[in-house]
Structures are given as C-alpha cells and as structure tokens.
Amino acid sequence: MISLAVAVVGAIGYAVWTNNEKMQALANIDSTTLCPKDGPVAGVTVLVDRTDGLNAIQAEQVVQLIDTWAQSVPSGGIFKVYEVGKAKDLLTPIVTACNPGDGSNESYLTGNPAMLRKQYEEHYVDPIKKMAEGMRADAEADSSPIMEAVQAVTIQDFGPAQTKMMNKRLYIVSDLMQHVKEFSLYKGIPDTSAFSATPYAASVHVNLSNIIVNLYAVTRPGMDGDKLGKLRQFWGEWLRYQGGLLLDDKRIAG
C-alpha cells in the first residue's frame, strides 16, 4: 500500500510539473504569429525566381519541394517563401508561418493533441498549401535580380537579431540567369574570382556564414547541359564566397 501511495503521489507530481512546463511554454508563444516571443528556434527561407515563369511540370516539382521543406521545420521554427522582386528592394514574404507543433507528442492526460493538430493545420499547413498552389501561375519580368534577392532575404531573416536561431536554411529555386543593368549573365558567365573583384559584386555581397544553402536550378528552353553546368558552378562558387554552406546543388527539369 505504501509503495502504491508513493507511486500515485509521484504520478501526480509529474503531471503537475509537466503542466507547469507546458504553461510556461505557452506563455512564451505569441498568440498571433504562434512564434516564440523570444524568437524562432530555426528558420527555413525559400527564394523562388519566377521572373521567366515556370511551366506546369516545373511548378509541380516546386510545389512538392516546398511542402517537403515546410514539413522539415521543427516546432518553434519559422518558414518563409519569397519571390525574386525588384533590385535593391526589401522583399515581403508571400507566406510566413511558424510551426506550432502538430500535437503528435502530446498526451491526452497532459495536453490537447486534437486542438494542437487543428491549430497546426489551420495556421501552418493550409497557408503554405494555398501559397504553393499559386506557384503554378506564370509570371514574367524585365529583370532578374537574384543576387539582390539573396542579399535581401538573408539580411531580413538571418541577421544579427536572430540570436536564438541555431538552424538556418536557405533554398534558392531559379534558372540562375541574373539579369540587371549592372550585371547580366546573358552576356556570358565570368570567372568567379574576377567577378568578385568588381564594384557590383561588392554591392551584392552578403554574409551567409552558418547558413546552409540549397540551390535548385530550373532548366530553361534552349539551355544546354554545358551552359547550365557552368551556371551552377558560378553560383556555387559565388555562394561559397559569401560564406554559405552549400549542401544541395540540384536541377529542376521540365
């Protein structure tokens, strides 16, 4: 009987302790954004270049990738998707969502997994799904300031203020054809070291240290494998020159 009483008291004590832990955790969550008030613990940013449009096959691949990347964000992490915009502009994400957790680790005795799952679906899964569907639409622009966009999202999402963010990932989906008045890869692919010494390269420099970068090259009509290979090499070297940890260098066909 004594051992049973000790076990019951211990169980009650554990439940109270667990509940207090959960209350403290909930108090640290912003009720509007569902992000931790002291900042997200991880960040995944996706930069999609649709300045020359995506065909249906390419768009479907990008939609599937975005879903995969969104699912990789841990609880308390933030997921953002941007599109390449105007040169030297700060960019507004087309979706931004914090992962509040899906309730799969919650017990009915100490939490409300059904409510957490509903919150996860409504505030995280659904907005990302809606945004991804919009990627199927074509879009065209007169310029492709990809380097400027990389600079903008890195400063916005991974700057010095993000002291709590230990895991930082940047996904770039693009045909890699940088095209602005100051510098255009349509005129040729330069040697990376020579390019890095130019005033323009200095203007788009950004600190990618401690950021895992993943490059996904979109195939364009008429672009042969040799040119795409040289483009991927140039961009890989440029990203590493900025301090980025290049993890993936893959191709999106179509």
What's 74-116 look like in SS3?
A: CCCCEEEEEECCCCCCCCCCCEEEECCCCCCCCCCCCCCHHHH
According to the model, what pLDDT value does residue 31 have?
A: 66
Angle made by CA atoms 116, 117, 119, in degrees to the nearest 5 = 65
- What is the average pLDDT across 9-15? 42
Weakest mean pLDDT among 22-31, 58-67, 184-193: 22-31
User: Architecture of domain 31-252 in CATH?
Assistant: 3-Layer(aba) Sandwich (3.40)
pLDDT > 60? residue 157:
yes
According to the model, what pLDDT value does residue 253 have?
A: 79
Contact 154, 64 (CB under 8 A): no
pLDDT top residue among 4 and 226? 226
pLDDT > 90? residue 204:
yes
7 Cβ contact list (under 8 Å, min separation 6): none
pLDDT top residue among 60 and 117? 60
| 132 to 102, 129, 239: CA distances (angstroms) | 20, 5, 26
Q: Where are the domains of the chain?
A: 1-29, 31-252
